[in-house]
Structure 1
């Protein structure tokens, strides 16, 4: 499953406007949908997500009001992802409102979701998919700013979770990005974090390529536990 399929995979019957908003907002903030990328038409979105066009229209109105997309008229018009240069400040303000208890709880949920996904992905993904994942790890290594590193990290994680071949895990991971992304942007401002996590991803990739489910799960748990520890340290120092 590629990133396009993850973003536009059908939603469940219980879906409402806010769930569509969360799905697309998570994809935008995590970098699955890039700046200036055009979204499918309202009718195509409704068909792919399994909802009504009215629900899609309401969701797009919300995203537009939040400054995440803009709509252009004309023959080449449509809804496009906005440039998000100011998003770092939004993430920082959000981080400042969080408690250590909230961060710990969110991190534990993220760790559980990612660990199970890695365990499944090691058994289910193909070598071609691991080749793609290796390229994403290389992109993460090459990223040079806190925001681009955070977005590359999120792309690696969402892709890994998609390899578990569970629609529920994918849906949960996209919703989670809205809360987790601000924490990682702040984290990657800290010296030495990026280099450590590049090494972690490289070790994880080797275990995944060997189809070693147990080792893959252990490595992703260690990686996210390290991130949580560092994020809590930053929080307590502020």
Structure 2
């Protein structure tokens, strides 16, 4: 069995510091890539938490949340003791640990994921900037705040629907029926992909922070800030999807 140092060396081409805005999602994406590529074979140990956290430039708390997701998906296991650590498990026959991964793979046959993600980002960033730059009516402000509040109160099994409604509300408030229609179509594609990966509480908490910052920027008339928050938000979703894709 290769040593932990050898294992760490093999990860150098893949692991890199993540961006501050989407640390959890991008760290998860990178470690999933390590596992998919077989850079740490089944039965071997991942580098120590301290090493991984330093490479990714995230806190060990965030790293442990990432490793917990991987453990829940049956991709790694934690062992205690002198020779403990996080060990890679044999890969299941389907990605993401089960039938959801197989369904995702089937959907990918008819969807250009990168095209969907890029088009979604263009529409969302544009809509956020337009809403902030042109301002909203009192009714628009009420609708946007209500949509945000609904996501905060959402039970886990209804979160994605309410998240979608928030984004659709923002697209509609941009004032372009064409943009709204195009966004509705691309969001349907995105949701079809998201439905095939697990809902991660840590990611949802992060999304909610971004949603709040986004709405604040829009209502403050900060177009640059709204666009930047939305770009970061879309990047987090993209990182998760790329991480779970095989």
Same-fold call, TM cutoff 0.5: yes
Corresponding residue number in structure 2 for 1:138: 149
Q: 2:178 aligns with which of 163, 168, 172?
A: 168
Contact 1:127 1:209 in 2 (8 A): no
Q: What displacement does 1:108 show?
A: 0.7
In structure 2, what is the Cα distance between the partners aligned to 1:184 and 1:135? 24
TM-score (structure 1 length as normaliser): 0.56
* Deviation by residue 1:69-123 (Cα, 9 ceiling, x = unmatched): xxxxxxxxxxxxxxxxxxxx99983564316x82222111000011111111112
SS at match of 2:245: helix
2:219 is aligned, of 187, 191, 209, to 209
Unaligned runs of 5+ in 1: 1-88
Partner SS for 2:201: coil
8 Å contact from structure 1 (residues 124, 164) kept in 2: no
Q: How does 1:12-161 map to 2 (within 5 A)?
A: 93-94=103-104, 96-98=106-108, 102-122=112-132, 123-146=134-157, 148-161=158-171
CA contact (8 A) 1:125 1:163 kept: yes
In structure 1, distance between residues paired with 2:125 and 2:219: 16
Q: Which runs of 5+ in 2 are unaligned?
A: 1-98
Distance change >3 Å, CA 145–CA 197, structure 1 → 2: same
Deviation at residue 143 of structure 1 after TM alignment? 1.7
What RMSD over aligned residues (CA atoms) do the two structures have, in Å?
A: 2.6
Please identify runs of 4+ aligned residues in structure 1 that moved more than 4 A.
89-92
